[in-house]
């Protein structure tokens, strides 16, 4: 997340003679990256990218605190101007305006503070406030709303203001949303609240705030407001982030709350707000301070040894130098001689990201300067990592398909509900993503086929003949709350030719990969995923021995028409893990025969539903001179086979071929009730 900080505002909290160029350079070297500096009027603007683990730097004061520790390392004096918190006193109020607050779960809101102001006048903010907000990229609205935005930028603590008189019953209940509730937010948008969002409702059960993100329109401060209710609090960061993801909506406040806010900084922000309400609005405090803080975090101590510090930094750093650096960052550290260690009390604003000794080493190293650490090449033997054969076979198969006219496609691993319904698949049988990027990326794919349909539909206007494939994982649901089974699949689609063209391409692929004993047999589709996609009479299961490799077949015309695809579509879908098990680099080569072959075509009239593959296997069983059998033609109930006879010892005579032919005709007639039509 990037923030804008004016140099003039920064120097209100940091006393230094460092130039803007030095501030940008040294802050980037040792802490947060300054992406750009811009001269605006007589001021400079720093555009700073803040890392997610450092929510304490999402403010002018937080960056000033960092620079106070960094600049002295480069020989530049710098002093952090502490905020005079003790000088701002909480007033004693005799006749407190009523406000009842109930928090249903303390985990939703670790700390909650509220205060009521009255006798205020709505008007423009002082010029300095307006200018600083504008330079920081925030539009000035009025003196009340500007206070909350100003302090969020200055201290990193978001806060929210309500019109107290619009809170019905002077009662507020903080709870989780449920049951399809809605709220019109300050931007005049009606938002359907995801279940589990943190919300506040008033005494008449009206939702008045989408906590941590945006307030409700029904409680906004406007020109007629006379009394203001100010909230300064922290929320469960995970809840805020989940709500933002589900709504696809994020605000400046939400960007801070979802990364974690320091609960110990709440009172400081409240005191600053009291001071600004008095000066900018002429308001007075009209209630006692409500401060609900059931579980304050315990002070955290982290210990680091001298040996680990030297080993991980790669140089010797005295503990006294480490103590000096840690103390400059707000840690309270002590050195122990026996054993040689340093123990640091973590400051409350770093409580969320300092836990172990390595975290302290990182703090020492970055202030010491990564650029000051020696550069050393790795020593010793380079470890040998065994290659995964799956990857090399993937590339080889892709190359083969490319040379046969296929184009590889890359698709998202997710598909939308509308596409699944179009192809006849049930979305409930797929894993659903909790926070999808769009409606078209909701369900994890259990098959690659629908994605190829989309590609084909979008490209058929430019290409009449399409051959495409994808090699990627599918995600098969397992038991509840467990990760899915990931399975690589090789899926291809053709919109021209027919079943036998696609089958021939696969046979060529198997031949190049030296995969033998492949059989195409009828596939029982009724209770499978494929049964919803493939034509029941034009689909085959691809078997290797007793193992299923996948299917090949024609897609149902009803599905093709719904997707707007013209013509027939033939698809093959192969389990790539199973395919790799049978691939071998060993190929069997035979010498070229010295004697010529005799080739003849035999046409058989066969009964309906006779399987050609079984007929070919039966012919091949007749050992001797038959070296190859292939289906040449199929018309109505006639199947024509091309049979090649050959001997490696002599030239065959017609009589020798005739004897083998008679065996073929007899065997085929007996097993399949087929008769020879012609030769």
Instruction: Give the tens place of pLDDT for each residue, 342-358.
Output: 999 999 999 999 999 99
The whole-angstrom separation of Cα 622 and Cα 600 is: 16
pLDDT recorded at residue 482? 81
Q: Which of 51, 82, 113 is the last residue of a domain?
A: 82
Q: Which stretches in the chain have pLDDT values below 70?
A: 525-527, 678-679
pLDDT recorded at residue 344? 96
pLDDT recorded at residue 85? 75
Task: Label residues 51-89 b or e (16+ Cβ within 10 Å = b).
Answer: eeebbbbbbbbbbbbbbbbbbbbeebebebeebeeeebe
Q: Are residues 31 and 141 in the same domain?
A: no
The whole-angstrom separation of Cα 403 and Cα 395 is: 13
Handedness of CA 275, 276, 278, 284 (dihedral sign): negative
> Would you say residue 671 lies in a domain?
yes
Cis peptide bond N-terminal to 344, omega within 30: no
Counted domains in the chain:
5
State whether residue 613 is helix, strand or coil: helix
CATH of the domain at 275: 3.50.40.10
CATH of the domain at 68: 3.30.56.10
Give the C-alpha distances (Å, rounded to integers) separating 569 from 258, 398, 508, 553.
48, 21, 20, 9
Q: Are residues 396 and 532 in the same domain?
A: yes
Q: Residue 468: CB partners within 8 Å, gap ≥ 6?
A: 406, 407, 408, 409, 452, 455, 456, 492, 493
pLDDT recorded at residue 520? 86
The whole-angstrom separation of Cα 660 and Cα 623 is: 9
> Would you say residue 89 lies in a domain?
no
Q: Are residues 660 and 544 in the same domain?
A: no
Q: Which of 262, 292, 322 is the last residue of a domain?
A: 292
Instruction: Report H helices in 440-572.
Output: 449-459, 499-512, 557-562
Range of the domain at 208: 100-292
Q: Are strands 407-408 and 467-476 parallel, antiparallel or unpaired?
A: parallel
pLDDT recorded at residue 678? 63
The whole-angstrom separation of Cα 485 and Cα 478 is: 7
- Going by C-alpha positions, the residue among 290, 2, 350 that lies closest to residue 153 is 2
Q: Are residues 75 and 123 in the same domain?
A: no
> Would you say residue 132 lies in a domain?
yes
> Would you say residue 379 lies in a domain?
no
pTM of the entire structure? 0.65
Q: Which of 82, 114, 139 is the last residue of a domain?
A: 82
Q: Are residues 162 and 278 in the same domain?
A: yes
Q: Are residues 123 and 219 in the same domain?
A: yes
Q: Which residue, chain included where needed, has tokens 């609900």?
A: 292
Which residues are paired to 344 by β-bridges?
A: 302, 333
Structural contact between residues 668 and 604, judged by C-beta atoms closer than 8 angstroms: yes
Q: Are residues 528 and 401 in the same domain?
A: yes
pLDDT recorded at residue 622? 84
| 3-class DSSP string for 485-497 | EEEEEEEEEECCC
CATH of the domain at 442: 3.30.930.10
> Would you say residue 592 lies in a domain?
no
Q: Are residues 358 and 418 in the same domain?
A: no
> Would you say residue 95 lies in a domain?
no
Q: Are residues 130 and 148 in the same domain?
A: yes
Which residues are paired to 161 by β-bridges?
A: 230
> Would you say residue 171 lies in a domain?
yes
Structural contact between residues 407 and 467, judged by C-beta atoms closer than 8 angstroms: yes
Q: Are residues 473 and 399 in the same domain?
A: yes
The whole-angstrom separation of Cα 672 and Cα 617 is: 12
> Would you say residue 92 lies in a domain?
no
Q: Are residues 572 and 668 in the same domain?
A: no
Q: Are residues 286 and 310 in the same domain?
A: no
- Going by C-alpha positions, the residue among 271, 211, 229 that lies closest to residue 98 is 229
């Amino acid at each position: 997340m990037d923030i804008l900080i004016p140099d003039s505002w920064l120097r209100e909290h940091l006393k230094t003679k460092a130039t803007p160029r030095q501030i940008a350079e040294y802050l980037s070297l040792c802490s947060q990256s300054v992406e750009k500096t811009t001269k605006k009027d007589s001021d400079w603007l720093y555009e700073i990218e803040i890392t997610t683990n450092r929510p304490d730097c999402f403010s002018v004061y937080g960056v000033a605190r960092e620079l106070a520790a960094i600049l002295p390392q480069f020989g530049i004096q710098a002093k952090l101007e502490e905020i005079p918190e003790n000088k701002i006193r909480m007033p004693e109020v005799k006749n407190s305006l009523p406000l009842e607050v109930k928090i249903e779960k303390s985990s939703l809101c670790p700390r909650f503070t509220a205060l009521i102001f009255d006798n205020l006048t709505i008007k423009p903010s002082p010029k300095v406030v307006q200018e600083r907000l504008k330079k920081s990229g925030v539009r000035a609205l009025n003196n009340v709303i500007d206070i909350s935005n100003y302090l969020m930028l200055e201290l990193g603590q978001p806060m929210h203001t309500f019109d107290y008189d619009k809170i019905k019953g002077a009662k507020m209940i903080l709870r989780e949303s449920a049951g399809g509730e809605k709220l019109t937010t300050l931007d005049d948008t009606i938002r359907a609240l995801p279940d589990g969002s943190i919300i506040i409702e008033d005494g008449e059960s009206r939702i008045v705030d989408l906590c941590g993100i945006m307030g409700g329109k029904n409680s906004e401060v406007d020109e007629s407001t006379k009394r203001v209710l100010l909230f300064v609090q922290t929320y469960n960061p995970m809840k805020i982030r989940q709500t933002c993801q589900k709504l696809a909506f994020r605000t400046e406040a939400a960007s801070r709350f979802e990364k974690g806010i320091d609960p110990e900084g709440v009172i400081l922000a409240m005191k600053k707000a009291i001071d600004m309400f008095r000066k900018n609005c002429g308001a007075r405090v009209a209630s006692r301070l409500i401060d609900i803080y059931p579980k304050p975090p315990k002070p955290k101590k982290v210990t680091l040894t001298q040996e680990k510090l030297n080993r991980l930094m790669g140089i010797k750093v005295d503990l006294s130098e480490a103590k000096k650096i840690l103390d400059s960052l707000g840690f309270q550290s002590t050195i122990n001689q026996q054993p040689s260690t340093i123990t640091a009390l973590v400051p409350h604003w770093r409580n969320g990201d300092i836990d172990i000794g390595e975290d302290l080493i990182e703090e020492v190293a970055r202030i010491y300067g990564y650029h000051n650490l020696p550069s050393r090449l790795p020593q010793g033997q380079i470890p040998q990592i065994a290659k995964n054969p799956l990857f090399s076979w993937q590339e080889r198969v892709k190359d083969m398909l490319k040379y046969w006219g296929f184009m590889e496609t890359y698709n998202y691993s997710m598909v939308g509900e509308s596409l699944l319904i179009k192809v006849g698949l049930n979305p409930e049988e797929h894993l659903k993503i909790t926070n999808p990027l769009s409606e078209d990326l909701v369900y994890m794919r259990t098959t690659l086929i629908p994605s190829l349909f989309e590609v084909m539909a979008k490209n058929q206007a430019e290409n009449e003949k399409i051959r495409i494939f994808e090699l990627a994982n599918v995600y098969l649901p397992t038991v509840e709350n467990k990760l899915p089974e990931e399975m690589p699949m090789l899926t291809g689609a053709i919109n021209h030719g027919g079943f036998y063209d696609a089958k021939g391409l696969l046979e060529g692929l198997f031949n190049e990969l030296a995969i033998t004993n492949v059989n195409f047999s009828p596939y029982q589709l009724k209770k499978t995923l494929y049964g919803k996609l493939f034509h029941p009479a034009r689909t085959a299961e691809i078997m290797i021995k007793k193992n299923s490799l996948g299917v090949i077949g024609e897609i149902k015309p009803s599905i093709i028409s719904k997707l707007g695809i013209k013509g027939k579509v033939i698809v093959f879908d192969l389990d790539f893990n199973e395919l790799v098990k049978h691939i071998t680099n060993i190929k069997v080569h035979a010498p070229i025969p010295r004697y010529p072959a005799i080739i003849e075509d035999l046409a058989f009239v066969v009964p309906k539903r006779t399987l050609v593959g079984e007929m070919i296997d039966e012919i091949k069983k007749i050992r001797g001179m038959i070296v190859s059998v292939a289906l040449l033609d199929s018309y109505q109930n006639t199947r024509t086979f091309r049979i090649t006879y050959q001997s490696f010892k002599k030239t065959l005579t017609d009589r020798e071929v005739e004897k083998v032919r008679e065996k073929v005709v007899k065997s085929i007639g007996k097993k399949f009730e087929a008769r020879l039509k012609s030769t």
